[in-house]
Amino acid sequence: MISTSELSTAFVGMADSLVDDFDLVDFLHDLTVHAAHLSGADAVGIVLADHAGRVRYMASSNESGRLMELLQLQSSEGPCLDCVRTGVPVVNADLAHAGDRWPVFAPQARSAGFAAVHAFPLRLRRDVLGALNLFSSEAMTFSEEEVGVVQALADVATIAIMQERAIARAEAVTEQLQGALNSRIVVEQAKGALAQAAGITISEAFELLRSRARSTRRKLVDVAGDVLAEIADEAGRPPS
Amino acid sequence: MHGDEQRAEGGSERERLERLVAAQQPTGRRGRGLLLDRLCATAVAELDLCAAAVSHPPTDGTHLVAAASDDAARRLEELQFDVGEGPTHDACRERRPVLVPSLDDRALQRWPGFVQAAASVGVAAVFTFPLHVGAALLGALALYRATAGGLSGAEVRTALTLADLTVEAMIDLTLDDDTDAPPFVDALDGQAHVYQAQGIVMVQLGVSLTEALALMRGRAHAEGLSLADLSRAIIDGTASFGQDGTAP
């Protein structure tokens, strides 16, 4: 199912992006798009676990509220949480037969139109930082080889999250993870503010931010911060 | 990071710390100033520190210490302003924790003035956490230890949870300093749509991000809603803060 040539193109493209000072939030977004395209999944998301054990949204292949809702439903149960908890991939979970395992999540995911789900851990040594989740509206079964490929994509996400700084220091993991979680919040704040100021949808605001980041070759989080500062400036107020 | 174990710990860790903060002795200050003092005292007791302080961002030539466990802690923060460098500066600029388990040569190179002065008063390690919500920067929580060594995983969680509680206290502090206001009404639980709604309200009212979040927290509390539910309504357009009479 996963084409070798497309796969190598995706990996080469992602490796090229991992240059100095790359844009983590945008990189993870691209990774979810690659993962959706390669695997045929309808929606792909990346979540990170924070210090309180809450699963927090980092990126997704599309902005559909449906995926977000699903991920949030999982705060109490579901494949992504199982995966983060155990560090073991959840593969080929058929939602029609998962009512015992996830009595709340499985029926809600089905009624949202999903039939199959997979979750792969973002592993760093003995820790699990988060998970890469794939949702499909049709039955989707990965072969052993394909499981390896998707796990490799999850590993690339871990590498990207940890790359900005050397991880030889134990402290760097905390520093990096906290920084990444806050970057995501900056982007969400800018999406809301820009949507409201420009009279556009949240999704359109995200696309505007992304295209501005790309055209100016700057990080999404920096562009988001600037947009917030500009909007605050127009209102004659400090941004924070 | 470790699923259930941490989940369980995370939930109860917050509650445990809330209880410890509430049980701290009053310091003579009122309202949320007292709350910040109690947070510092709790940090010192729980993390085996010699000092803890909450500072406002060191911008615009002002570096105000919002709360400190004692005068020594206050001086360590003021010292960073005097020498124009230090972990509080870096945590606020880089927007991530600055964890320094030992004031070694590397730390000395990074902050020569600060490290010499801190070491001379017996500080051996410093762990500084930015107090922020996305682009809204409120300051930093600085934890000073007299012994060198890194924080354990459990200590990192305790420190981050204390930082969460401090952020919430400081956000609410922007609106009022009412002694009777309930602390910690609604945890900021990291859901993306809460921050989208924060951006929307910032524009609707022409206020700062911090004020927007403070107003949202106040309204959610007043209306008996969760912050998450109010945020969803703001995004849907069924709740707004604007000229339509719904502004608080």
Q: Which of A102, A130, A165 is the last residue of a domain?
A: A165
Of B7, B97, B206, the CB nearest to A178: B97
CB contact under 8 A, B199 and A194: yes
- Domain boundaries, position A64: 4-165
Is pLDDT at A97 greater than 50 in this prediction? yes
CB contact under 8 A, B4 and A224: no
A107 and A160 part of one domain: yes
Residues of A in contact with B200 (CB under 8 A): 192-193, 195-196
Q: What is the mean pLDDT of residues A204-216?
A: 94
Interface test with A, best of B17, B92, B158, B203 (most A CBs within 10 A): B203
Q: What is the mean pLDDT of residues A58-67?
A: 73
B21: which DSSP letter?
H
| pLDDT grade for A24, boundaries at 50, 70 and 90 | confident
Taken in order A162, B190, A48, B53, the sign of the CA dihedral is positive
What are B127's strand-pairing partners? B99, B143
Pairwise CA distance, residues A158 & A16, whole Å: 16
Interface test with A, best of B158, B209, B231, B234 (most A CBs within 10 A): B209
Q: What is the ipTM of this complex?
A: 0.86
Q: Is residue A179 part of a domain?
A: no
A102 and A211 part of one domain: no
Is pLDDT at A57 greater than 90 in this prediction? no
Residues of A in contact with B4 (CB under 8 A): 53, 85
A28 and A108 part of one domain: yes
* CA angle, residues A122, A123, A129, in degrees to nearest 5: 60
How confident is the model at residue B1, as a pLDDT? Answer: 41
A145 and A30 part of one domain: yes
Find the CATH number of the domain harbouring A152.
Answer: 3.30.450.40
Interface test with B, best of A185, A226, A237 (most B CBs within 10 A): A185
Q: Is residue A46 part of a domain?
A: yes
How confident is the model at residue B245, as a pLDDT? Answer: 41
End-to-end CA distance of chain B: 39
Q: Give this prediction's pTM.
A: 0.85
Q: Is residue A171 part of a domain?
A: no
Q: Is residue A177 part of a domain?
A: no
A235: nearest CA partner in chain B: B206
What is the rounded average pLDDT for all residues in chain A? 86
A227 and A151 part of one domain: no
Mean pLDDT by 10 residues, chain B (248 residues): 41 85 80 85 96 87 83 91 90 95 94 93 96 95 97 94 93 68 61 92 93 91 88 91 54
What are A24's strand-pairing partners? none
List B residues 71-110 in contact with A (Cβ-Cβ < 8 A): 94-101
A196 and A157 part of one domain: no
Q: How many angstroms separate the CA of residue A206 from the nearest CA in chain B? A: 11
A195 and A153 part of one domain: no
Q: What is the bridge-based pairing of β-strands A55-60 and A127-136?
A: unpaired
A76 and A155 part of one domain: yes
A193 and A143 part of one domain: no
- A111: how many CB neighbours lie within 10 A of its CB? 9
How confident is the model at residue B7, as a pLDDT? Answer: 41
Residues of B in contact with A175 (CB under 8 A): 96-99
Is pLDDT at A224 greater than 70 in this prediction? yes
A196 and A147 part of one domain: no
Residues of A in contact with B171 (CB under 8 A): none
A112 and A50 part of one domain: yes
How confident is the model at residue B240, as a pLDDT? Answer: 84
Q: How many angstroms separate the CA of residue A3 from the nearest CA in chain B? A: 33
Of B99, B100, B196, the CB nearest to A188: B196
Looking up tokens 């990965």 gives A142
Q: Is residue A102 part of a domain?
A: yes
Q: Is residue A137 part of a domain?
A: yes
Q: Which of A165, A192, A219 is the last residue of a domain?
A: A165
Find the CATH number of the domain harbouring A197.
Answer: 1.10.10.10
CB contact under 8 A, A192 and B197: yes
A72: nearest CA partner in chain B: B191
A205 and A112 part of one domain: no
Q: Is residue A144 part of a domain?
A: yes
Cβ burial A140-158 (10 Å sphere, 16+ → b, else e) = bebeeebeebbbebbbbbb
Three-state SS across A191-233? HHHHHHHHCCCHHHHHHHHHHHHHHHCCCHHHHHHHHHHHHHH
How confident is the model at residue B218, as a pLDDT? Answer: 86
| DSSP states of B40-91 | HHHHHHHTT-SEEEEE---BTTB--EEEESSHHHHHHHHHHHHHT-SHHHHH
Domain count, chain A: 2
Q: Is residue A9 part of a domain?
A: yes
List A residues 181-210 in contact with B (Cβ-Cβ < 8 A): 181-186, 188-197, 202
CB contact under 8 A, A240 and B189: no
Q: Which of A134, A165, A196 is the last residue of a domain?
A: A165
Is pLDDT at A108 greater than 50 in this prediction? yes
